[in-house]
A and B are shown apart, each in its own frame.
Chain A
């Protein structure tokens, strides 16, 4: 039995190795022929944009079945770098580019509002921009100061570098004031929402698409955080989702970006975020 076992084992290993080698060889076939869309696109970057990209790609590939698009994560920073270096065809970013990063072509594919959220039993419904700033700066520390029930305010913040935090800091905190150190850091929309949903005295900020019945979104200066209000620019806390390319896109890449910005693509955007057109 041992001999049989051995030969079987080596046969399996051999087959597996051949598969690997064959798999390696398969790369980089087919670039596009005229007219018919064919080819591979690599998208990398922001994990906030990734789910949206995946929805878009799924629909796009259903229409053009010779196109293969890979969507990888990695984060906004990595997305910008990948686009600039040309290592990915499209880089995705969920924050505005910094001055030194503006050497790439950028396309705003969607807008994402940022909602200020509290526990659903919190009696406070409306805060001024100034109050929000003071809460996140750590100057207001109890809900009783804002007409709520007595209780220390728990601030839920995002990690440094996050697009959501970048936009929030820029729009609410301004340049001089930074967010208090006495904040819990969660590294995604879902994590902040789950945390606030379970914390009666919590406050945080998340992507508008992430709002659900577990938490309550606050009005800011009397304006509700809705898609409509962002479109009309009455609700001012939002950020862009960007697609970045190294140079003027061509071929499949151009076709895909054009499609994303078309009515059809924007229709899919509208299911979760705010379309730009």
Chain B
């Protein structure tokens, strides 16, 4: 084979590989829509998306409880995880002694990111759930309601999820803070501002969009988490009316019921997949938009 021909073959091969990721995401979207759309068509978008009752054995496929469930757990996780994550990121970028970071905190964060979600689930199920149950049984208003006093629920899920999204938030936010030009900081300090004032008034505002990107990525991770969630949140397909209420997430709905489902029930689970897919694509686009805005 001629040299130039060979070069062309290599190029074509590389191009095909590069297309693979795009191809896969189109396939994923295509398959999930193909399997899940029939249910939307048959019962109507409104009935499925806004429907409040999920009883597959009675042909009721309302997704709203799971949508709300996912939103509540995710928001809860962000409320706990974002402050801790951002503060830790500031600490790492601005305050921490270098040795402490490289020997202790950085490996800790990496390990935190590497722990499989089933292990988080196992931990949450055997520690956090019993503690919350013990507390809620002492509060008369909660103890009476069977759905609020079991320990399984939004609060337990949010606590575990907040730990799981910490590494994402910390890493992205720290990068953003570190990439703030040194001049900003020096200028502020030269004007007589204290270190904290500089962080608070100059560095964090300058790194705002990077920090936001971290938060949005954490949001995506929380929304997509499955195994830890189903071991902790109780999985009742009801509209939650309290923070202690047992809920079911969209991801959990799929993982729990896929195994025994058949026919229309399976399609309804793919419908859950469609909603989750669309949510995630929106969130990712938002994250990309934030990052690009910063870059451009």
A and B touch in the complex (CB under 8 A): yes
Chain A residues near B (Cβ < 8 Å): 46-47, 73-78, 80-81, 95, 101, 138, 141, 151-155, 159-163, 169, 178, 181-187, 191, 194-195, 198-199, 201-202
- A152 with B149: in contact, given A75-B260, A77-B261 (CB under 8 Å)? yes
CB distance from A50 to the nearest CB of B (A): 10
CB distance from A85 to the nearest CB of B (A): 12
Tell me the complex Cα distance, A75–B259, Å: 4
| In contact, B262 and A80 (Cβ under 8 angstroms) | yes
| In contact, A77 and B235 (Cβ under 8 angstroms) | no
B130 within 8 A of A: yes
Closest to A76 in B: B260
B236-247: contact bitstring with A at CB < 8 Å (1 yes, 0 no)? 111000000010
Residues of A within 8 A of B133 (CB): 198-199
Other A-B pairs, 8, CB within 8 Å; known A74-B259, A77-B261, A201-B137: A75-B258, A77-B260, A141-B146, A160-B55, A161-B265, A182-B238, A187-B235, A199-B150
Tell me the complex Cα distance, A76–B238, Å: 25
- A47 with B262: in contact, given A151-B143, A178-B55, A183-B236 (CB under 8 Å)? no
- A47 with B146: in contact, given A185-B237, A198-B130 (CB under 8 Å)? no
B58 within 8 A of A: yes
| In contact, B266 and A77 (Cβ under 8 angstroms) | yes
B152 within 8 A of A: yes
B57 within 8 A of A: yes
Chain B, interface residues (CB within 8 Å), range:
35 or more
Closest to B239 in A: A181
Closest to A95 in B: B260
Closest to B150 in A: A154
Residues of A within 8 A of B265 (CB): 77, 160-161
| In contact, A154 and B236 (Cβ under 8 angstroms) | no
B224 within 8 A of A: no
Tell me the complex Cα distance, A47–B257, Å: 12
B125 within 8 A of A: yes
Residues of A within 8 A of B230 (CB): 187
21 A-B pairs in the complex with CB atoms less than 8 angstroms apart? A73-B259, A77-B261, A77-B265, A78-B262, A101-B262, A154-B146, A161-B260, A181-B238, A182-B145, A182-B146, A182-B147, A182-B238, A184-B152, A184-B236, A185-B235, A185-B236, A185-B237, A187-B235, A198-B129, A198-B130, A199-B133
Tell me the complex Cα distance, A227–B112, Å: 46
Tell me the complex Cα distance, A159–B231, Å: 13
Closest to B145 in A: A152
Residues of A within 8 A of B143 (CB): 151-152
CB distance from A264 to the nearest CB of B (A): 30
Residues of A within 8 A of B137 (CB): 151, 201
Interface residues of B in 107-131 (CB under 8 A from A): 125, 129-130
Tell me the complex Cα distance, A74–B266, Å: 12
| In contact, A161 and B261 (Cβ under 8 angstroms) | yes
Residues of A within 8 A of B150 (CB): 154, 184, 195, 199, 202
Residues of A within 8 A of B202 (CB): none
B251-269: contact bitstring with A at CB < 8 Å (1 yes, 0 no)? 0000111111111011000
Tell me the complex Cα distance, A78–B149, Å: 35
Residues of A within 8 A of B266 (CB): 77
B56 within 8 A of A: yes
B165-178: contact bitstring with A at CB < 8 Å (1 yes, 0 no)? 00000000000000
Tell me the complex Cα distance, A160–B57, Å: 7
CB distance from B73 to the nearest CB of A (A): 15
| In contact, A159 and B147 (Cβ under 8 angstroms) | no
Interface residues of B in 30-89 (CB under 8 A from A): 54-58
Residues of A within 8 A of B129 (CB): 198
Tell me the complex Cα distance, A159–B266, Å: 13
- A184 with B125: in contact, given A81-B262, A162-B260 (CB under 8 Å)? no
| In contact, B149 and A154 (Cβ under 8 angstroms) | yes
Tell me the complex Cα distance, A210–B246, Å: 25
